[in-house]
């Protein structure tokens, strides 16, 4: 994945006039410097980013660019353990004593690593999938290491009583009978909720990164959360991304749904339902 930074070039006098006149864009190590933010220069920049194979652009705050931005999903996926702690704390529960459900369709290295990581943080991990045989193999492999998960494809019962669901890659609930008051951490942009769903669906998170990172110091006028996600995307290994995240002393400060920040009252509503 190719991610570029876009900055205003710090120019003065004739040099600024010259580069603005000829719409000159400097590129150094995937950082694109533009002389101005007028539409002609931005349009030229967009064409150059596309021709250079740039997938996402992180811009300085004063640059409004119509180009794909990081959507927060990779950060969300890397921070699942921290999100669970955040949610269970609002529900007045201890994550280490709780049960979660992981909805997974693809038997990938990343999904396997996520499931393994969750077994270290949560008491009971239930994997729900339509690809039963593959994940049953994972269940057996983990059992040989004294790590225990349950795997189910039962559409009528598997998610019926689930309080907290991690959706790794499913596009919908595939006919599963789902608890409509559950909390869902959704890692898939293509996921569609059931129309009768009344619970919480977390699409993104807000975070505070305690550690001062070099990328922040070098790009003070850019969004820290976008820069942090870009750092996580530099590695294709989930373990390495988790290492970066843990070393950063990142804290989840809020969770976000399709309609904005999810407030405490919504968690209190879910809590009351599950206390009945």
pLDDT of residue 19: 83
The pLDDT tens digits of the residues spanning 140-171 come to: 999 999 999 999 999 999 999 999 999 999 99
pLDDT of residue 269: 85
Query: Considering only CA atoms, which of 3, 6, 8 is closest in space to residue 59?
Result: 6
Q: Are residues 21 and 128 in the same domain?
A: no
The pLDDT tens digits of the residues spanning 209-239 come to: 988 888 999 999 999 999 999 999 999 899 9
**Cβ-contact 63, 37 below 8 angstroms:** yes
pLDDT of residue 196: 87
Q: Are residues 109 and 189 in the same domain?
A: yes
The whole-angstrom separation of Cα 207 and Cα 196 is 30
Query: Considering only CA atoms, which of 221, 187, 192, 219 is closest in space to residue 205?
Result: 187
CATH of the domain at 146: 3.40.50.720
How many domains in the chain? 2
What is the domain range of residue 151? Answer: 74-204+256-275
Give pLDDT < 70 ranges for the chain.
274-276
pLDDT of residue 242: 96
Q: Is residue 236 part of a domain?
A: no
Q: Is residue 229 part of a domain?
A: no
Q: Are residues 33 and 129 in the same domain?
A: no
Cα–Cα distances (Å) from 129 to 158, 173, 245, 257, in that order, read 9, 10, 28, 24
Q: Is residue 168 part of a domain?
A: yes
* 128 φ/ψ angles, rounded to the nearest 5 degrees: -115, 125
Provide the β-strand partners of residue 102. 127, 166
Q: Is residue 267 part of a domain?
A: yes
pLDDT of residue 175: 86
pLDDT of residue 276: 55
Q: Is residue 64 part of a domain?
A: no
Q: Is residue 245 part of a domain?
A: no
Q: Are residues 153 and 262 in the same domain?
A: yes
- When the pLDDT of each residue in the chain is averaged and rounded to a whole number, the result is 93
Q: Are residues 52 and 85 in the same domain?
A: no
pTM: 0.91
């Amino acid at each position: 994945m190719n991610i570029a930074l876009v900055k205003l070039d710090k120019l003065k006098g004739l040099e600024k006039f010259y580069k603005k006149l000829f719409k000159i864009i400097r590129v150094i190590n995937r950082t694109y410097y533009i002389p101005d933010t007028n539409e002609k220069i931005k349009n030229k920049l967009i064409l150059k980013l596309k021709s250079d194979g740039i997938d996402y652009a992180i811009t300085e705050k004063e640059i409004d660019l119509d180009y794909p931005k990081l959507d927060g999903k990779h950060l969300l996926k890397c921070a699942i353990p921290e999100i669970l702690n955040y949610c269970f704390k609002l529900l007045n529960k201890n994550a280490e004593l709780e049960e979660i459900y992981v909805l997974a369709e693809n038997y990938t290295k990343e999904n396997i690593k996520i499931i393994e990581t969750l077994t270290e943080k949560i008491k009971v991990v239930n994997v729900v999938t339509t690809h039963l045989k593959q994940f049953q193999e994972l269940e057996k492999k983990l059992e040989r290491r004294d790590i225990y998960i349950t795997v189910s494809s039962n559409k009528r019962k598997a998610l019926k009583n689930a309080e907290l669901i991690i959706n790794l890659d499913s596009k919908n609930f595939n006919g599963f009978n789902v608890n409509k008051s559950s909390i869902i951490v959704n890692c898939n942009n293509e996921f569609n909720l059931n129309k009768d769903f009344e619970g919480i669906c977390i699409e993104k998170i807000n975070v505070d990164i305690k550690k001062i990172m070099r990328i922040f110091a070098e790009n003070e006028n850019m969004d820290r959360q976008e820069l942090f996600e870009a750092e996580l995307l530099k590695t294709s290994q989930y373990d390495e991304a988790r290492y970066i995240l843990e070393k950063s002393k990142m804290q989840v400060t809020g969770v976000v749904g399709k309609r904005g920040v999810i407030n405490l009252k919504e968690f209190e509503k879910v809590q009351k339902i599950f206390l009945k």
